[in-house]
């Protein structure tokens, strides 16, 4: 019998029910009970209906983000990802990860699966931190559509200029802190 080859970017399976799921479930149940007790059944069911609709709108985005991110290791070789944003990619890799984070469209449903996929496919933790930080601090979509629409241009440009080195510094610090350690 032939041994099955692991899928590119595959990682150790995660538990379906873990501490974080139990914690968030308990918080949700307590919050639901608090709404029911303090505001009545009508308010409770209004919240349930509204959040069910929100979840229904969010789930397809999460699924699309996970599928896109899962396809990455099939489209780009591990060697290429390591060369671009792996542990030996140096400052160039952190800059690439920061810029990738800045231009990633969409929200967390795209960014977080993409980051996990890159990490599983050979990117190092420093590049992952730079990518997520670049998305948070430099998100091009938010900057162009929201910030320039509401804030003075010099304010936006100063904020971007001051934020620009932060993801790179965070990635560099992460590499130094975790140097030689398997994470």
Position 162 in a domain: yes
Query: Do 165 and 86 share a structural domain?
Result: yes
Distances (CA, A) of 119 to 9, 86, 164: 8, 9, 22
What DSSP string runs through 144-157? IIIIHHHS-HHHHH
Q: What is the mean pLDDT of the chain?
A: 88
- Tell me the residue range of the domain where 150 lies: 76-177
Query: pLDDT digit string (tens) for 72-127?
Result: 778 888 899 999 999 999 999 999 999 999 998 878 888 888 898 889 888 999 99
Taking the CA of residue 7 as centre, how many other CA atoms within 13 Å lie in the half-sphere pointing to its CB? 13
Asked whether 126 and 175 are in contact (CB, 8 A), the reply is yes
Token digits for 58? 């969010």
Query: Do 125 and 52 share a structural domain?
Result: no
What pLDDT is attached to residue 7?
Answer: 47
Distances (CA, A) of 141 to 61, 107, 114, 157, 178: 17, 10, 17, 14, 31
From the list 149, 167, 24, the residue with the least C-alpha distance to 85 is 167
Token digits for 110? 């795209």
Calpha distance 156→41 (Å, rounded)? 45
Structure-derived torsion over alpha carbons of residues 101, 102, 104, 108, reported in degrees to the nearest 10:
70
Asked whether 126 and 172 are in contact (CB, 8 A), the reply is yes
Calpha distance 53→149 (Å, rounded)? 29
Average pLDDT over residues 131-149: 94
Query: Do 80 and 147 share a structural domain?
Result: yes
Query: Do 156 and 83 share a structural domain?
Result: yes
pLDDT-based confidence at residue 3 (cuts at 50, 70, 90): very low
Calpha distance 146→136 (Å, rounded)? 14
Query: Do 82 and 166 share a structural domain?
Result: yes
Calpha distance 82→16 (Å, rounded)? 29
What pLDDT is attached to residue 67?
Answer: 84
Query: Do 34 and 93 share a structural domain?
Result: no
Query: Do 114 and 41 share a structural domain?
Result: no
Position 71 in a domain: no
Position 26 in a domain: yes
How many domains are there within the chain?
2
Query: Do 55 and 88 share a structural domain?
Result: no
Query: Do 80 and 157 share a structural domain?
Result: yes
- The answer, yes or no, to whether residue 59 has pLDDT greater than 90, is no
């Amino acid at each position: 019998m032939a041994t099955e080859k692991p899928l590119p970017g595959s990682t150790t399976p995660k538990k379906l029910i873990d501490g974080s799921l139990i914690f968030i479930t308990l918080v949700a149940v307590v919050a639901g009970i608090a709404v029911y007790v303090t505001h009545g059944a009508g308010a409770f069911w209004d919240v349930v209906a509204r959040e069910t609709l929100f979840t229904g709108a969010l789930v397809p985005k999460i699924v699309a983000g996970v599928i896109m991110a899962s396809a990455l290791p099939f489209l780009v070789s591990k060697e290429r990802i390591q060369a671009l944003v792996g542990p030996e990619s140096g400052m160039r890799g952190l800059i690439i990860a920061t810029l990738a984070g800045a231009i990633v469209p969409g929200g967390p449903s795209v960014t977080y699966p993409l980051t996990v996929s890159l990490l599983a496919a050979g990117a190092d933790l420093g590049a992952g931190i730079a990518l997520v930080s670049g998305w948070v601090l430099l998100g091009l979509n938010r900057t162009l559509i929201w910030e320039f629409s509401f804030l003075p241009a010099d304010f936006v440009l100063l904020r971007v200029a001051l934020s620009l080195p932060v993801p790179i510094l965070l990635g560099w610090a992460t590499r130094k802190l975790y140097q030689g350690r398997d994470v």
